[in-house]
């Protein structure tokens, strides 16, 4: 995979390309050539939403509820999440401290941009989702990799060995 320099945003030029994007391209190309193939490269279901969800979505559009919302997410959802965190997880928090994102990539990108700083390190598993590395680099982190055990769980001793005073984030995946 070739890397092209961005004339507009220099930090993007330092981000390594990912096999993930190539797998999307190949899978989509093969699907066009051979319709009906099952793509196993991502967790995207081969079926649509339940009828009840599709109906609720259509109703929301018809009723004018398909508009921009609070940037933190629907207030009602954040209230319910705060209640769940309190009653189930025993975490006391306010809805105003919660942010709902359209997906983990968007949420983690925003969070990493907030936490990065000059010389900041992020500890990442040596086997990781490639997007996490790209997000970390784009945010300005210096990635440091820790080992996983034989069950692919984080190895606490490896984490202790690579952590430094510059460590700002420990990414568990």
In a domain, 127, yes or no: yes
Domain count, the chain: 1
In a domain, 122, yes or no: yes
User: Across the chain, what does the average pLDDT equal?
Assistant: 89
Q: What is the pLDDT of residues 43-102, one digit of tens each?
A: 777 788 999 999 999 999 999 988 888 999 999 999 999 999 999 999 999 999 999 998
Segment among 23-32, 112-121, 122-131, 141-150 with least mean pLDDT:
23-32
In a domain, 45, yes or no: no
Band of pLDDT at residue 3, cut at 50, 70 and 90: low
Expressed as residue numbers, the domain containing 131 is 117-173
In a domain, 75, yes or no: no
In a domain, 173, yes or no: yes
Residues 64, 67, 72, 77: is their CA dihedral positive or negative? positive
Instruction: Answer whether residue 2 shows pLDDT above 80.
Output: no
In a domain, 48, yes or no: no
Please tell me the predicted confidence (pLDDT) of residue 127. Answer: 93
Residue 47 to residue 145: CA distance in whole angstroms: 37
CB under 8 Å to 114, separation ≥6 — which residues? Answer: none
In a domain, 22, yes or no: no
In a domain, 154, yes or no: yes
Q: What is the pLDDT of residues 100-113, one digit of tens each?
A: 998 888 999 999 99
CB 119 within 8 A of CB 142: yes
Instruction: Name the H helices within 5-129.
Output: 10-13, 19-33, 51-62, 75-87, 104-115
């Amino acid at each position: 995979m070739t890397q092209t320099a961005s004339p507009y945003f220099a930090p993007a030029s330092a981000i390594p390309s990912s096999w993930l994007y190539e797998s999307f391209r190949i899978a989509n190309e093969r699907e066009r050539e051979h319709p009906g193939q099952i793509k196993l490269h991502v967790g995207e279901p081969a079926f649509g939403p339940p009828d009840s969800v599709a109906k609720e979505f259509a109703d929301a559009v018809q009723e004018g509820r398909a508009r921009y919302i609070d940037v933190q997410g629907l207030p009602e959802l954040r209230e319910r999440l705060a209640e769940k965190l309190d009653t189930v997880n025993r975490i006391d928090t306010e809805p105003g401290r919660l942010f709902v994102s359209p997906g983990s990539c968007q949420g983690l990108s925003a969070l990493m941009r907030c936490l990065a700083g000059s010389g900041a390190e992020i500890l990442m598993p040596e086997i990781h989702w490639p997007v996490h590395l790209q997000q970390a680099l784009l945010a300005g982190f210096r990635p440091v990799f820790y080992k996983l055990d034989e069950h692919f769980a984080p190895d606490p001793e490896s984490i202790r060995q690579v952590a430094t005073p510059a460590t700002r984030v420990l990414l568990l995946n």
